[in-house]
Amino acid sequence: MTQKKIPMRQCMGCRERKAKRELIRVVRSPEGIVSLDFKGKAPGRGAYLCPNPDCLKKAIRSKALERNLETAIPQEVLERLSQEMEANHEAERN
């Protein structure tokens, strides 16, 4: 029996390739709203990050998310993404 292919994606922060399920998707909806998509099913253009807040910081610093999502990301959205990721990271640790 053949093994099912595991979809791989590259983290925009550390640039490592990992299984899609291990990463968090940042999505720009068709309306232009940028948000975190923990399920990976939201419509729109996506970029992937490790569930590590450091990767988000690196991706913001290098403007990798803006390039990948093809849009300027407002500062308050970046702060919200950071808070959501911190909260998710804390929840997983407990």
- What is the mean pLDDT of the segment spanning 41-56? 91
- What is the SS3 assignment for 5? coil
Residues forming beta bridges with residue 19, ordered by sequence position = 8
- Whether pLDDT at 4 is above 90: no
- Paired tokens of 59: 């991706």
Inter-CA distances, 81 with 1, 5, 8, 29, 36, Å: 41, 30, 22, 15, 7
- Whether pLDDT at 35 is above 90: no
Q: How far apart are CA 11 and CA 64, in angstroms?
A: 10
Handedness of CA 49, 54, 56, 59 (dihedral sign): negative
- Whether pLDDT at 93 is above 80: no
The answer to whether the beta carbons of residues 10 and 68 sit under 8 Å apart is no
Q: Would the pTM count as exceeding 0.85?
A: no
The C-alpha angle 52, 54, 80, rounded to 5 degrees, equals 80
